[in-house]
A and B are shown apart, each in its own frame.
Chain A
Amino acid sequence: MNLIVSSIGQGLLWALLGLGLYLTFRILDFADMTVEGTFPLGAATAVTAISNGINPFLATLLAIGAGMIAGLITGLLYTKGKIPSLLAGILTMTAIYSVDLRIMGKSNISLLGKPTLFNGNFLQQLPQFFDSVSVGLIVIIIVTVLMMLFLATDYGQGFIATGDNPTMAKSLGIHTDSMINVGLMVSNGMVALCGALVAQSNGYADVNMGIGTIVIALASIIIGEVAFGDLTLNQRLVAVTLGSIIYRLILLAVLQLGFSANDLNLISSVVLAICMMLPQLEKVVHLRKPIMKGVQPHE
């Protein structure tokens, strides 16, 4: 029971990653690799800030800001520097690794004995593991509702059109370059928030904690889409969170089968690769297009 509650809590927290990637990979058709760096960046920023006595809430906001800057850098490399999107993301991601080490001063920082968003007075009274469920649920509800509202605005519709058909979007006067920059900022802000929350929930930040984040996020997006079939955009956003929870429950089952936590990246990649190779599934997975686009420079 405890393990299941803990998995649901993890699923809720990690769902932010899926939602962030939904904006880039799905809506903007932009294969953004930055997130592998933004996730630990969010963790490093928040944890370092907290260990320097900054209030956890403010530390989390700082993490979001750091993530947004990283997203903007990738965006500018792509839109202004005309570097293909995959490479632009990889450049930023690689650079962030050094930045993380600068921020933390070492490769690993523990939050032992420090305040976090998860040990407020109210949360302490909850049974074990319900703290991450509560925080995760609150954050996910706020983020999902904000995303739904954003996408239903005139601006948000222009954002969707930018990913859907940039030629048409431009011919209607939509500033596609600034849409891409804003999308990357918001997406990476969300991923950094995810990193900050996961680090506080785990009690530490590690420079290597970003490895595999893209695969994990894509897996939750795809699980949500496969499990719930034909959905409206708003329903799809909810499905990402449900997919993330299902993903964590699957991992739990896999661990029960005797695999070790170290095998998780291998298993996740194999599952995603199989999904991409099956033609019927690739329609749902829909990754070929953003990735093929990702090697083209911006015209």
Chain B
Amino acid sequence: MNKPILELKNVKTVVNKGTANETTILKGINLKINEGDFITIVGTNGAGKSTLFNVIGGNLQADSGQILHNGKDITHSTEEQRTTFLARVFQDPKLGTAPRMTVAENMLLAIKRGEKRHLVLRKLKQNMERFTKLAATMNNGLENRMTTATGALSGGQRQALSFLMATLKRPDILLLDEHTAALDPHTSLNLLHATNERINQDHLTALMITHHLEDALTYGNRLIVLKDGQVKADFKGEEKESLTTEKLYTYFED
């Protein structure tokens, strides 16, 4: 049994503390994520999926419980500190890239994810060839737009770039929050394929939130159902293989 790469122990989060609107969103999450896990996460709107990612990513602090990375307590480390081992892709294509910077400049920012940035010249030209090759792996013409400001790219290209940037420097944990939801069906499928390929090839540990039950079943080796701030089900290996959309759907009825 290998040690979990990330572990959540009874994690709870409360918002609007001390006001009439005080609500507990995550109600005691226990989760062990092993190296190489590709976990798909489903759940109703408001179940707390994005909140779970925010707590793992550190832009929301857990109010109780513990988060361990390779056994080390990171419950109170900041979002910036966690970027040394964690990368994320957001649902909104606008959030993942700097619009006034070019594709290549964005990639250059991403290869230094979590590193201290020094007053040394950026060396964009030296990286251009490598970046162009990487961009070509996304199969959407990104490699021809290397010097275009990302604000001028299509949503699909931007999202592909965001994904590429998240994996440029290998993360221990990759968080994908409905990262294809804003794209048309064809573009979305393309990016999902590319995502799956990259995760499998590089043996990345990834968590992917999706509202498409078929996708949740097709991809990954593990599936988690989140409901009302709690893990309602956790299917692994064979169990996940034999799961059907009908069965999964029952978790959405109440």
A residues adjacent to B (C-beta < 8 A): 149-150, 152-158, 160-161, 164-165, 167-175
Contacts and interface: CB of A to CB of B under 8 A. Distances in A.
Nearest to A175: B80
Interface string B205-246: 000000000000000000000000000000000000000000
B59 A170 contact: yes
A233 B91 CA distance: 29
B121 A165 contact: no
B28 interface: no
A154 B98 contact: no
Interface in B113-140: 113-115, 117-122
A164 B98 contact: yes
A161 B98 contact: yes
B153 interface: no
Contacts of B203: none
A164 B120 contact: no
B45 to A, nearest CB: 21
Contacts, number: 83
30 contacts: A152-B121, A153-B117, A153-B119, A154-B119, A154-B121, A156-B122, A157-B108, A157-B109, A157-B122, A158-B109, A158-B117, A160-B100, A161-B98, A161-B109, A165-B94, A165-B97, A165-B98, A165-B99, A167-B95, A168-B96, A168-B97, A170-B59, A170-B79, A171-B57, A171-B96, A172-B165, A173-B80, A173-B83, A173-B112, A173-B114
Contacts of A154: 112, 117-122
A167 B94 CA distance: 10
B251 interface: no
Contacts of A157: 101, 105, 108-109, 117, 122
A181 to B, nearest CB: 14
Contacts of A152: 121-122
B24 interface: no
Contact of B113 (A150, A153, A173, A175): A173
A225 to B, nearest CB: 13
B117 A169 contact: no
Contact of A172 (B59, B105, B112, B119): B112
Contact of B117 (A149, A164, A171, A174): A174
Given A160-B101, A161-B109, A165-B97, A150 B119 contact: yes
Q: Indicate the member of A155, A158, A165, A169 with the most B CB atoms within 10 Å.
A: A165
